[in-house]
């Protein structure tokens, strides 16, 4: 076995890994791509000699962590770490880190794009034109954003960028819920129920935790205005998909734009996908060529800090 430190990536999916290879080689480490396809059993086999584990979507359970006795850190290619057992990692003195400072423009752009696609009913009109049905009449009502209320659930980097991108649309009020954030002038601190009652556009930017799972459930959907639009580019588990289907199918709310689901990929037979007042994408909000390169570089730089014995920039389970 090589005397160099071993860095194991248990998920593939990127076109190249030249940044990881170069940065880790310079730090006296070797990079190995050993995709597990989301299988815990496969992960158990490939992490045994890992000093650091890099992961995207695969679950990193207690069993996986216990099978990597040399492991100092698990670093997530991305922001959400709900696929990593942070409690077990802390008990085993394995650092859990993420990369929260990439893709801000991209996810905010996705949130805006989904909101506008729903607002302007692009899916419905695209289908009509492609089918040879041309009408300048009203198919379904649309509403302007000027004078409306914008609600943000979570007020971190992406939420603030989303607000900035929407600034020119003329919202009369901006409401936000985030117990960890100090609201700037012009943003009203509010609880989730108030946002659901009063906002015309609601954009979700909260992490998925035990407390936030199904944050948007049947009760909160029942609070929303009939012209409300819900956008989720954060985590699929924030929304009760069955309850959202019922609200959309009954016309209880105007529409929804979803880039994330729980589970992923979702069941294509779910009845929500038969509706024309929802626009969906495949958890692609994080992506641009530039953000992907940023993400890989930032993750590799975090690995280097760990291997040098330096504190990581984004350590989520400190002791």
Using the CB atoms, write b or e for 52-86: b if 16+ within 10 Å: bbbbbbbbbbeebbebbeebbbbbbbbbbbbbbbb
Q: How many CA atoms lie within 13 A of 199 on its CB side?
A: 27
SS3 content of the chain, % helix, strand, coil (to 5): 35, 15, 50
The Cα 150–Cα 144 span in angstroms is: 12
Report the interhelical angle of 122-130 vs 104-119 (nearest 10°).
Answer: 60
235 is known as an active-site residue: yes
The Cα 150–Cα 199 span in angstroms is: 5
Residue with tokens 């959309």: 248
Catalytic residue, chosen from 93, 143, 264, 270, is: 264
DSSP for 280-302 reads: E--S-TT--HHHHHHHHHHHHHH
The Cα 39–Cα 234 span in angstroms is: 24
Catalytic residue, chosen from 123, 235, 245, 302, is: 235
143 is known as an active-site residue: no
β-pairing, 255-258 vs 29-33, is unpaired
Catalytic residue, chosen from 4, 173, 283, 297, is: 283
Under 8 Å between Cβ of 206 and 239? no
314 is known as an active-site residue: no
Non-local (6+) Cβ contacts of 98 within 8 A are: 75, 76, 78, 79, 80, 81, 314, 316
In whole angstroms, how far apart are CA 273 and each of 103, 121, 122, 243, 282? 27, 15, 15, 14, 13
Catalytic residues: 235, 264, 283
């Amino acid at each position: 076995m090589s005397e160099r430190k071993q860095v194991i990536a248990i998920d593939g999916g990127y076109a190249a890994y030249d940044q990881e290879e170069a940065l880790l080689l310079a730090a006296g480490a070797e990079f190995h791509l050993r995709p597990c396809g989301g299988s815990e059993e496969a992960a158990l086999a490939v992490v045994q000699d890992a000093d650091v584990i890099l992961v995207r979507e695969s679950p990193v359970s207690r069993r996986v962590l216990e099978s990597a006795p040399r492991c100092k850190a698990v670093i997530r290619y991305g922001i959400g770490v709900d696929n990593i057992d942070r409690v077990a990692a802390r008990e085993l003195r394995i650092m859990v880190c993420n990369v929260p400072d990439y893709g801000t423009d991209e996810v905010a752009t996705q949130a805006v794009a989904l909101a506008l696609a729903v607002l302007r009913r692009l899916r419905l009109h695209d289908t009509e034109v492609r089918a040879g049905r041309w009408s300048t009449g009203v198919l379904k009502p649309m509403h302007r954003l000027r004078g409306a209320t914008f609600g943000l659930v979570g007020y971190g980097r992406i939420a603030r960028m989303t607000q900035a991108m929407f600034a020119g649309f003329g919202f009369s009020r901006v409401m936000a819920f985030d117990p960890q954030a100090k609201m700037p002038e012009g943003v009203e601190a509010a609880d989730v129920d108030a946002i659901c009652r009063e906002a015309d556009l609601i954009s979700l930017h909260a992490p998925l935790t035990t407390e936030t799972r199904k944050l948007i459930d049947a009760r909160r959907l029942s609070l929303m205005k009939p012209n409300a639009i819900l956008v989720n580019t954060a985590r699929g588990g924030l929304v009760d998909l069955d309850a959202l289907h019922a609200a959309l199918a009954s016309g209880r709310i105007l529409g929804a734009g979803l880039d994330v689901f729980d589970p992923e990929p979702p069941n294509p037979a779910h009845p929500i996908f038969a509706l024309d007042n929802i626009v969906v994408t495949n958890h692609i909000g994080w992506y641009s060529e530039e953000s992907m390169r940023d993400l890989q570089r930032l993750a590799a730089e975090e690995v280097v800090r760990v291997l040098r014995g330096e504190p990581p920039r984004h350590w989520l389970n400190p002791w």
